[in-house]
Structure 1
Amino acid sequence: MSSSGSGGILDGKIPVFVFPVQIDFYLEDQTTHKRVVTIYNPYEFDVTFKVLCNNPKKYAVVEPEGKICGQKCVDIVIRHVAVSLQTVDTTDKFRISLFEEGTNDLLGKKDILAILHAGNPDPQSNSLGDKQRKALGGVFPSLGGGSGQQDANGQSHNREGGAPNYIACFVAVICILALFLPTHCEPSSSTSLLQDYPWLHLSLHQKLVFAYVLGLVTLAILRT
């Protein structure tokens, strides 16, 4: 595969990485009527994706189109909205296509099957699926947790939670203390001890910098 002379990213098709490769719904287990499919983009460039189905009346796909940044992944939610005895053991097909961002040039596609089973799922099958997902994350470690992911309710989130960022907390405390220090333009009391330490008087520009840094570290703390 080589770069296109017309400005395209790639010539030809690229592999499409999706997990799982088969979606299993179970008639008697309502928790399985909503499944999450992860689309990986291990490449260094951004792509757009589109999800199509041969029987769209039976399924509801949350955000069937979107963008995946380079070396990131996105979760899409597929709901089975026509669960009945008549549809048991029927197989449908979803096609996931990747396109070069900003164009309609097809980069690659992959088909996954959707099957409605009778009864309840085997508990071991869920644990096996988790192992396969972790194994795929090991192949693409940079896709472990990034922006653009969505949970089962379609809300963005990071896949992996982290411990509190103690460095960010320390920086936030320093910024807060700095904002409480007097500024050069404020008249100070003659009895103030700060008169003996003029270097503790900050300029307005310095306080604006501390306020900006405080906003950044606050976002970092809230994310973790």
Structure 2
Amino acid sequence: MFNQSTNLADGKLPVFVFPSTLSFYSDDQSSHKQVLTVYNPYEFPLKFKVLCTVPRRYTVVDSEGTIRPRCCVDVVIRHIDICINNEGVNDKFRIQVSEHGHRKILGKKDFSAVLLPTRGRETTPNKDDTFHATSRAKRGEDNPGTAPFDEVVRRRSVRGPSFVVILTGLVCIIALMLPSQGENGSRLPDYLHLSVNQKLIAAYVLGLVTMLILHI
């Protein structure tokens, strides 16, 4: 079972970020702005900060902030250096989190961002993994755009989310709203009190469903 106190102590708190890769395309202006979702399935607020190996190539809206318990935030990332010299370069981003009111880093999550000339092209990673703080754009300047989930989803021609996808999302939302094990004052029976692990799984699946719906 997930041990929250142990993870807080060793700085390895799991960080949930969706999607795991951002793909920008030189020939598709709509792809130059992507949205990243950071989840907090825990019972306490988290502070987050976005770092990047090459921050001059990107503008990040709200690159740091606070996520309330059992909530999520959308971070808009815009590629601002679209040129042939940057195509195929695999940049790295890092989300690091800490408990609200404390400076100690509890956990981190790395993901990649790549600029491709057109959809369907692959790239090889670069070796420069030195992270720097990203620029912070003015609040309200951009609205979250769409972010690709994976190559399979990109190639699917779907007009709208299926009933199964919507139902899965609703089940995950309900699961996250149910009380946690050991929580007092709830009138629901014990079998509806979910463990932290169960809620982490629900948050993970909800993130996948969200990205799929946004892409469609």
Q: Deviations over 1:95-137 (max 9, x none)?
A: 0001011111111100010001112467941769x89x97995
Aligned partner of 1:11: which letter? A
Unaligned runs of 5+ in 1: 146-158, 160-224
- Equivalent residue for 2:8? 10
Structure 2 Cα separation of the partners of residues 143 and 82 of structure 1: 41
What is the alpha-carbon distance in structure 1 between the residues aligned to residue 115 and residue 13 of structure 2?
Answer: 30
Which structure shows the bigger proportion of residues in helix conformation?
Answer: 1
Indicate conservation of the 8 Å contact 1:95/1:112, yes or no: yes
Cα deviation, residue 84, structure 1: 0.6
Match of 2:173 in 1: 141
After superposition, the Cα gap between the structure-2 partners of 1:10 and 1:142, relative to the gap in structure 1 and judged at 3 Å, is farther
Q: Residues 55 and 92 of structure 1 are in contact (CA less than 8 Å); yes or no, is this contact kept in structure 2?
A: yes
**Is residue 48 from structure 1 mapped to residue 47 from structure 2 by the alignment?**
yes
Relative contact order, higher structure (CA 8 A, sep 6+): 2
Checking the alignment, whether the CA contact within 8 Å between 1:73 and 1:143 is kept in structure 2 is no
What is the aligned-residue RMSD (CA, Å)?
Answer: 3.4
Alignment of 1:1-224 (within 5 A): 1=3, 3=5, 10-12=8-10, 13-120=12-119, 124-125=153-154, 140-141=172-173
List, as ranges, runs of 4+ consecutive aligned residues in structure 1 with deviation greater than 6 Å: 133-136
Q: What is the aligned residue count?
A: 140
Change (3 A) 1:40 1:99: same
Compute the displacement of 1:11 (Å). Answer: 1.7
Contact 2:97 2:106 in 1 (8 A): yes
Counterpart-to-counterpart distance in 2, 1:34 and 1:76: 10
- State the alpha-carbon separation in 2 of the partners of residues 87 and 110 from structure 1: 24
TM-superposed CA distance for 1:64, in Å, is: 0.4
Normalising by the residue count of structure 2, what TM-score does the alignment of the two structures yield? Answer: 0.56
Q: Mark the CA change 1:137 to 1:11 in structure 2 (over 3 Å): closer, same or farther.
A: farther
1:136 and 1:99 map into 2 onto residues whose CA distance is: 30
Task: Say whether the 8 Å CA contact 2:70–2:176 is kept in structure 1.
Answer: no
What is the CA distance between 1:70 and its match in structure 2?
0.3
Task: Compare 112-121 and 37-46 and name the one that shifted more.
Answer: 112-121
TM-score (norm 1): 0.54
The 8 Å contact of residues 42 and 143 in structure 1, kept in 2 or not, is answered as no
* Long gaps (5+) in structure 2: 121-150, 178-209, 211-216
- Specify whether residues 80 and 42 from structure 1 end up closer, same or farther in structure 2 by C-alpha distance, changes over 3 A only: same
Q: Which moved more, 1:34-43 or 1:10-19?
A: 10-19
The amino acid of 1:63's aligned partner reads D
